[in-house]
């Protein structure tokens, strides 16, 4: 559903799955700065929202997904994952309970497959799953909130930042995006979803064996990296562009953006065996990496702090 905020003067539509919202409103870096200061909101109404109601909803979701949800207090946002039996990520949910229902937003085009799976798992429990097309997602740099979709136009008068600004700050914060930094083989450890979307001491759920094994033994097959790109190049590497080390393809670019302070940056997923200080080529652009996920990520493994510089 095309956002009415695209009718603002200067609004330029994004592309791909984000085509229904604005990439920017005419001043990318000013929008980034306003967003970083907490002075603007981002239209993410292309995200799909589902509603899960019923007395058993939290315990049921706790049993099905990776996050501890059975005691989630109303109003507290969190993330959870639907994994397959091999521990690979099938869906990523950002959700909140409003005291009556769980409201979860997911990537465009993924809601129906999630609803179909959840419907198959209801059995005799007191839960109902449906689309919530009446709701739309707006975000600041730090949090999400839901508004009635019919009231989106009411936000035409407030400071807005486009999705490109949001993506630049997301990349800076090392936050992966489902479908961009993930593929059909991704396990949570590879993209640093342990903690934020996976609770390591909760009860059983589908895919938990893989989560526990990698947590205890280390050695995820791949790892998420943050890239500082060569600022002298005019173009950014596209999603899926190859990452090269010593003439060999060792990974792919997930997302890239131009940051108002850091210049061109990106997230990529590379093989675990790539040296943590190796210079790389990302879509033909020279790139220096910062470690997000250590090569041997697991409970008993650490990495030299000088190689893992979190950007704030």
- Per-10-residue mean pLDDT of the chain, 312 residues long, equals 91 97 96 96 97 97 97 97 98 98 98 97 92 97 94 82 98 98 97 95 92 91 97 95 98 98 98 96 97 80 42 28
Segments in 8-127 forming alpha helices (H): 28-36, 57-64, 111-120
Query: What confidence score (pLDDT) does residue 199 get?
Result: 96
The Cβ-side half-sphere exposure at 19, using a 13 Å CA radius, reads 4
Task: Indicate the SS3 state at residue 221.
Answer: coil
Contact 292, 308 (CB under 8 A): yes
Query: What confidence score (pLDDT) does residue 303 get?
Result: 42
Query: What confidence score (pLDDT) does residue 307 get?
Result: 40
Please report which helix (H) or strand (E) contains residue 216, including its range. Answer: helix 208-217
State the distance between the two ends of the chain, measured CA to CA, in whole angstroms: 34
Query: What confidence score (pLDDT) does residue 299 get?
Result: 54
Instruction: List phi, psi (to 5°) of 159.
Output: -60, 130
What number of residues does the chain have? 312
- Please give the Cα distance from 102 to 74 (Å, whole number): 9
């Amino acid at each position: 559903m095309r956002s009415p905020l695209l009718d603002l003067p200067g609004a330029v539509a994004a592309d791909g799955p984000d085509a229904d919202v604005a990439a920017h409103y005419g001043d990318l870096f000013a929008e980034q700065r306003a967003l970083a200061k907490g002075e603007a909101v981002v239209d993410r109404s292309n995200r799909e929202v589902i509603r899960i109601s019923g007395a058993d909803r939290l315990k049921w979701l706790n049993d099905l997904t990776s996050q501890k949800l059975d005691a989630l207090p109303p109003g507290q946002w969190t993330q959870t994952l639907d994994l397959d039996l091999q521990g690979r990520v099938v869906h990523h949910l950002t959700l909140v309970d409003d005291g009556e229902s769980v409201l979860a937003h997911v990537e465009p085009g993924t809601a129906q497959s999630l609803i179909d799976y959840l419907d198959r798992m209801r059995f005799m429990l007191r839960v109902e799953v449906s689309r919530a097309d009446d709701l739309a997602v707006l975000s600041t740099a730090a949090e999400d909130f839901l508004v009635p979709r019919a009231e989106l136009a009411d936000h035409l008068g407030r400071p807005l930042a486009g999705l490109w600004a949001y993506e630049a700050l997301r990349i800076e914060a090392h936050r992966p995006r489902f479908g961009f930094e993930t593929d059909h083989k991704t396990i949570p450890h590879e993209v640093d979803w342990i903690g934020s979307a996976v609770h390591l001491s909760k009860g059983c759920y589908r895919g938990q064996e893989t989560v526990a094994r990698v947590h205890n033994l280390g050695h995820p097959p791949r790892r998420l990296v943050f890239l500082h790109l060569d600022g002298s190049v005019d173009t950014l590497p596209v999603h899926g562009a190859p990452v090269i080390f010593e003439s060999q393809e060792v990974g792919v670019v997930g997302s890239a953006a131009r940051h108002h302070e850091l210049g061109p940056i990106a997230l990529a997923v590379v093989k675990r065996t790539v040296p943590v200080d190796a210079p790389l080529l990302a879509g033909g652009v020279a790139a220096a990496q910062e470690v997000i996920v250590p090569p041997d990520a697991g409970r008993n493994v650490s990495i030299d702090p000088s190689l893992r510089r979190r950007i704030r």
